[in-house]
Structure 1
């Protein structure tokens, strides 16, 4: 059987990717690799290897025998985490990425899919809420978003160099704000959409106030997890040898996002904006023209549909957690 290894299989995107591989490709054997297990249940992988990929030997052993590798492992989180731990993020992710690419080279892995990020794009292109959607080509002169973006861009260069030098089949997906069930919705590692869903769901009754970082005018485009996974699988099967965006072109301001979440929740929510908190780029939206052309891919899930599914999961999970806490009292 074909052996597919998913690094970062304990994380949000990794867990969904493992599920999709097992559901759609019964002839493959999936090995999940991560330093920790999935947060919301056991992994669906045929085998799950606990390994710290910052250690070269552990990384090589975890990838041994792989025919295909999805390299998702990273020390990552929301904007709170990227501001709280920049040195840790840069150090850990450089080690993970270099070890993974080198291990794939030594193991003669057939196909490698590396998940990069929209954080590689220059800050100069994202300074207004109405900034133009981000195409794949303008990444130089380099000015990525914080240390996380610098590491992602550096690894893109590493992948391109290994592709040319060693004739490796390495593909690069630049993910844009992926969200959905099973994602963190509280703490520094939570991303903005899930964090806001969690805050609204935690409001008791039908009205209340939540804290929102920034002034609400910053804009984003959010890609639902099922669409992201479909894009990654299609990229893996393709002959594409250049970075492609995997994101949504549906722009929304944070203020409007709060309003939509509140409407789905059936609550009256008053945002308490915090302009003193980190907000990241003021406008970040994916341009999917290249991905449509090369892969025939574009998101199939509207933001409203994705929000309903995500908010429903978060609200249910919060309610279950409360019930469990009450039962222990």
Structure 2
């Protein structure tokens, strides 16, 4: 008799976590979703609640994590991911990277489960090597405002490899580059929802710096496919998953103006501290080891993303982020 594989996905009510829930449900897994809802939104996964092979735990992974019964896989995606979030909750950002990862590695060890942790291109900092390969150690300001996120992710990688080498735990590490698509929060501060939100509200598009900094945007379906393949692969070192086609922020802002059919100006403001000037993944390993590369063009992906944001209720468009984060920074 077929026994359904069981997977725990943390950060499951977030943008990327919710799409991963969809993918593993589609693949026939029993999905346990976990989120403390600091930045996640239950609306992203409410369509799954009626399913027999889905359950949700409202839980903070920085506290002890227990899941009854067997567990085959863990995807650790719990973490604030936008600068607005991790600058508001810097201590929780560090705790979820350190304590949360430690708790989940311990759970994986007890359950003899394979665990994949979500790292980020931010571990490369403001890179001096371009494009960024997995062998590049990065150029990171450990005590700058972005350090709470960068160092949390760098620690995640270190402790994951320690469990791999010392305990023989099956681990996988994905380094995620800029990803976009439906279910992004409109006001989370990341460049795509920021630009589209401004365009839909009839506001000028804000570019920080002179707009010459580059980003490489990967559509969420492609990102999820890469993560899925990495989890099921035999490779235990970090792998970049992202789209290598880079564009300057200035040119991207002009693309948004054309996409939305608006006539706003592009205005410029000072560049935030430690904002990386270049971001482009070298995906040679992903191609060779996983047989993966992105398929969705930026034009196609942006059209789908724009249609999603356009379909949101008007009050979402003007709503400011209002969550009270003070309790999460208290200790």
TM-score, scaled to structure 2: 0.86
User: CA separation of 1:275/1:265 partners in 2, compared to 1, >3 Å: closer, same or farther?
Assistant: same
Q: Report if aligned partners of 2:63, 2:103 keep a CA contact under 8 Å in 1.
A: yes
Q: Report if aligned partners of 1:71, 1:100 keep a CA contact under 8 Å in 2.
A: yes
CA distance in 2, matches of 1:318, 1:134: 39
Question: What is the DSSP-based 3-state SS (H/G/I as helix, E as strand, rest coil) of the residue aligned with 1:17?
Answer: helix
CA distance in 1, matches of 2:207, 2:126: 22
Q: Report if aligned partners of 2:125, 2:150 keep a CA contact under 8 Å in 1.
A: no
Q: Report if aligned partners of 2:207, 2:267 keep a CA contact under 8 Å in 1.
A: yes
2:63 pairs with one of 45, 55, 58 = 55
2:111 pairs with one of 107, 110, 135 = 107
**Does 2:304 align with 1:309?**
yes
CA distance in 2, matches of 1:273, 1:140: 28
Question: What is the DSSP-based 3-state SS (H/G/I as helix, E as strand, rest coil) of the residue aligned with 1:114?
Answer: strand
Instruction: Specify the alignment match of 1:326 in structure 2.
Output: none
CA distance in 2, matches of 1:302, 1:114: 26
Instruction: Specify the alignment match of 2:199 in structure 1.
Output: 200
User: CA separation of 1:264/1:163 partners in 2, compared to 1, >3 Å: closer, same or farther?
Assistant: same
Instruction: Specify the alignment match of 1:281 in structure 2.
Output: 276
CA-CA distance at 1:117 after TM superposition? 0.4
Show CA shifts across 1:263-315 (max 9, x none).
Answer: 11111120111115457101111111111111110111111111111111112
Residues 193-202 or 242-251, more deviating? 193-202
Matches within 5 A, 1:218-257: 218-257=213-252
Instruction: Specify the alignment match of 1:134 in structure 2.
Output: 132
Instruction: Specify the alignment match of 1:154 in structure 2.
Output: 155
CA-CA distance at 1:185 after TM superposition? 1.6
User: CA separation of 1:242/1:217 partners in 2, compared to 1, >3 Å: closer, same or farther?
Assistant: same
**Does 2:42 align with 1:42?**
no
CA-CA distance at 1:124 after TM superposition? 4.5
Aligned-pair Cα RMSD in Å = 2.3
User: CA separation of 1:322/1:148 partners in 2, compared to 1, >3 Å: closer, same or farther?
Assistant: closer
CA distance in 2, matches of 1:301, 1:97: 31
CA distance in 2, matches of 1:319, 1:141: 41
Instruction: Specify the alignment match of 1:294 in structure 2.
Output: 289
Question: What is the DSSP-based 3-state SS (H/G/I as helix, E as strand, rest coil) of the residue aligned with 1:116?
Answer: strand
TM-score, scaled to structure 1: 0.86
**Does 2:64 align with 1:66?**
no
**Does 2:97 align with 1:93?**
yes
Question: What is the DSSP-based 3-state SS (H/G/I as helix, E as strand, rest coil) of the residue aligned with 1:181?
Answer: coil
Instruction: Specify the alignment match of 1:123 in structure 2.
Output: 126
Q: Report if aligned partners of 2:242, 2:283 keep a CA contact under 8 Å in 1.
A: yes
Instruction: Specify the alignment match of 2:18 in structure 1.
Output: 15
Question: What is the DSSP-based 3-state SS (H/G/I as helix, E as strand, rest coil) of the residue aligned with 2:296?
Answer: coil
CA-CA distance at 1:43 after TM superposition? 5.2
CA distance in 2, matches of 1:35, 1:43: 18
User: CA separation of 1:193/1:63 partners in 2, compared to 1, >3 Å: closer, same or farther?
Assistant: farther
Show CA shifts across 1:9-52 (max 9, x none).
Answer: 111101001111112x12x2111111125344515261111111
Show CA shifts across 1:84-114 (max 9, x none).
Answer: 44333213332211111112112221x1111
